Amino acid sequence: MQIFVNEMPLKRRIAYLKSKGKTIGFVPTMGALHKGHLSLIEKSNFRCDITVCSIFVNPTQFNNKEDLVNYPITIEEDISKLKNANTDILFKPTERVIYPPDTNLDVEIDLEGLDNLWEGKFRPGHFKGVVQVVKRLLDLVQPDFLFMGQKDFQQFTIINMMLEKLNMATKLIVVPIYREKDGLAMSSRNIRLTKKFREKSTILYKSLVFAKSVYGVKTPEEIESTAIRMIKDQGLNPEYFKIVNGETLRSVVSVSDNFVIAIVAAWAGNVRLIDNIIIKHEK
């Protein structure tokens, strides 16, 4: 695995690989890699000739400075996991490489309010930072395919809108959520859960499975309030549990909506977790 820190050597290598007709798959991460990330690498390896993974803890997407300071850094383990997963290139830039001084990298696109819903409401400015860094990384890596996890449903919906609105050549591939045996969605933040909250956190997946099982029998409002109660009963502090249209991320209009998901965010002690489940997706 080759490791690049700076812009020009990375760009030169990618240009060379492209000149040889190689397809490039890209998996952007903030490190603290787990099996969910590795499933993205695996998909990229399967689909593309070359897999590039980036590790960059992007400060502009953290609205909560404490979350940024506490974000787990496990670079040695990450590198060995990436090697074992047959990653071709690791891009591990410094902050100066991503955000060179005196360079405006704001992405001026209308996200049609998607960035102010759910995660955006509870983490103001978060998606502005995500869009900014993903656009910058895509400009550097120039991938044919971008691999992102379904767990960050709102994130990939917004990135997809960005790719479309900016007419970018990269195609987004969404990879299903990778779960622990007891259902907890894999997340870099899980390692910060206390033993008690690690056990209690399985309620998130249980509440989502419950929502899926009663959708169409109970109203979305009934399902949402029962799910919120289930989560609170386990001592977690929910921020939202919503049943929404999978494209607009707004409340479902009727049972005839053909793409429906349930999304949830909750605090398990001082760790914020998100998860979702696809309730139905009829094409």
> Which residues sit at the interface with ligand PAF, rule CB under 6 A?
28-30, 58, 61, 130, 133-134, 152, 155
User: Taking the complex as a whole, how short is the minimal distance between the CB of residue 16 and ligand PAF, in angstroms?
Assistant: 25
Question: Which residue shows structure tokens 């971008």?
Answer: 146
Q: Which is nearer to ligand PAF, 185 or 228 (CB)?
A: 185
Alpha-carbon distance of 125 to 141, in angstroms, equals 24
Alpha helices per DSSP H over the chain: 7-19, 35-47, 65-69, 75-84, 95-98, 118-122, 126-141, 153-165, 195-200, 202-214, 220-233
d(CA 13, CA 70): 34
Please, what is the minimum distance in Å from the beta carbon of residue 60 to ligand PAF? 9
CB-nearer residue toward ligand PAF: 28 or 120: 28
Compute the least distance from the CB of residue 42 to ligand PAF, in Å: 17
Tell me how far apart the alpha carbons of residues 76 and 122 are, in angstroms, rounded to a whole number: 32
Task: State the minimum distance, in angstroms, from the CB of residue 176 to ligand PAF.
Answer: 15
171 DSSP β-pair partners = 145
Catalytic site residue 37? yes
Residue 30 or 227: which CB sits closer to ligand PAF?
Answer: 30
Q: Output 54 or 207, the one with its CB closest to ligand PAF.
A: 54
Q: Which of 34, 37, 126, 281 is catalytic?
A: 37
SS3 245: strand
Distance of alpha carbon 153 from alpha carbon 156, whole angstroms: 6
- Minimum distance, C-beta of residue 130 to ligand PAF, in the bound complex (Å): 5
Which CB sits closer to ligand PAF, 39 or 234?
39
Strands 145-149 and 24-29 turn out to be parallel
Residues sharing a CB contact under 8 Å with residue 240, sequence separation 6 or more, in sequence order: 118, 122, 263, 264, 265
Shortest Cβ 58–ligand PAF spacing (Å):
4
> Closer to ligand PAF at the Cβ: 43 or 200?
43
Pairing state between β 171-175 and 237-245? unpaired
Residues 1-19: b if buried by 16+ CB within 10 A, e if exposed:
eeebeeeeebeebbeebee
Residues 146, 141: Cα–Cα separation, whole Å: 10
Residues known to be catalytic: 37
